[in-house]
């Protein structure tokens, strides 16, 4: 079973708009991570938020974590065509880290 | 790709043949992982290693074996490939503070097709 599940499965926006992706998980975690995957490439780590953190920023990325709702969101502000990719969350506990099926983001120029 | 290479990058093989995929790292990270990626499933962990000759099973280990005789190399073997093992295989490495649920760095992937 998947620990992390992203929503929506696909998202299409115009360049300059913000993109929000959500992740839900099932059990308690130590941290939650977001990764990006460009077509035909490996995953690239974007940001890690620990279970005792509520919000974290990295450039145009903002991640929130709500452990009471077992959910996280990734916000990409002022999106660019180069942000077109699949985005995955990965929920990690002491002994396991599981990825969701991803959100496919398309940013139209 | 963080000093991680995978070989081969593409392979087509027939059902019943053995296949070995290699992951090589130059980062001297302790942990190495093998995942498979299939549509609708995200990434699923096959096996991982936490040191030379130290390995453990992941979520989908049936039909796969691994070996790690050197820090820099982690081999994934399909003893007798089946069509259900057609997938894209990713190697990843990490040097976590504890456990293995910390930041991972991924290789470029190997696309395996079993006919």
Read off the pLDDT of each residue in B7-12 and give the average, rounded to a whole number: 97
Per the structure block, which two tokens stand in for B33? 């992982």
Helix or strand or coil: residue B15?
coil
Which one of B102, B103, B106 has the shortest CB-CB distance to A42? B106
Residue B1 has pLDDT above 80, yes or no: no
The answer to whether A21 and A88 are in contact (CB under 8 A) is no
Q: Would you state the pLDDT for residue B52?
A: 94
pLDDT digits (tens, 9 = 90+) for B49-101: 999 999 999 999 999 999 999 999 999 999 999 999 999 999 999 987 655 56
Quote the CA–CA distance of A9 and B93 in Å, as a whole number: 27
Does the CB of A51 have a partner CB in chain B at under 8 Å? Answer: no
Residues of B within 8 A of A48 (CB-CB) are 102-103
Per the structure block, which two tokens stand in for B4? 């991680």
pLDDT digits (tens, 9 = 90+) for B17-50: 999 999 999 999 999 999 999 987 789 999 999 9
Give the minimum alpha-carbon distance from A101 to chain B in angstroms, rounded to a whole number: 4
Mutate to test the interface with B, among A43, A99, A101 (most CBs of B within 10 A): A43
Angle at B105 between CA A85 and CA A91, to 5 degrees: 75
pLDDT digits (tens, 9 = 90+) for A40-64: 899 999 999 999 999 999 999 999 9
Quote the CA–CA distance of B36 and B34 in Å, as a whole number: 7
Quote the CA–CA distance of B48 and B111 in Å, as a whole number: 19
Quote the CA–CA distance of B69 and B91 in Å, as a whole number: 16
Give the minimum alpha-carbon distance from A56 to chain B in angstroms, rounded to a whole number: 15
Per the structure block, which two tokens stand in for A60? 């145009």
- Domains of chain B, first to last: 4-114 (2.60.40.10)
Which CATH class for the A4-108 domain?
A: mainly beta
Residues of A within 8 A of B100 (CB-CB) are 95, 97
Residue A32, Cβ neighbours under 10 Å: how many? 29
Radius of gyration of chain A (CA): 13
Instruction: Return the number of CB contacts < 8 Å for A and B.
Output: 61
């Amino acid at each position: 079973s998947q620990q992390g599940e992203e929503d929506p499965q696909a998202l299409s926006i115009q360049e300059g708009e913000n993109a929000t992706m959500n992740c839900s998980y099932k059990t308690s975690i130590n941290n939650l991570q977001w990764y990006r995957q460009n077509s035909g490439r490996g995953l690239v780590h974007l940001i890690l938020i620990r279970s005792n953190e509520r919000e974290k920023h990295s450039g145009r990325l903002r991640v929130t974590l709500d452990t009471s709702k077992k959910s996280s969101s990734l916000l990409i502000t002022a999106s660019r065509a180069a942000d077109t990719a699949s985005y995955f969350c990965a929920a990690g506990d002491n002994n396991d880290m599981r990825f969701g099926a991803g959100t496919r983001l398309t940013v139209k120029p | 790709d963080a000093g991680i290479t995978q070989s081969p990058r593409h392979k087509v093989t027939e059902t019943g043949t053995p296949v070995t995929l290699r992951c090589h790292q130059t980062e001297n990270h302790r942990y190495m992982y093998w995942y498979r990626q299939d549509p609708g499933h995200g990434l699923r962990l096959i096996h991982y290693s936490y040191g030379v000759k130290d390995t453990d099973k992941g979520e989908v280990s049936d039909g796969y074996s691994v070996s790690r005789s050197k820090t820099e190399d982690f081999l994934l073997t399909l003893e007798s490939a089946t069509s259900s093992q057609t997938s894209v295989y990713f190697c990843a490495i990490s040097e976590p503070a504890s456990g293995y649920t910390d930041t991972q760095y991924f290789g470029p992937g190997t696309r395996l097709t079993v006919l």
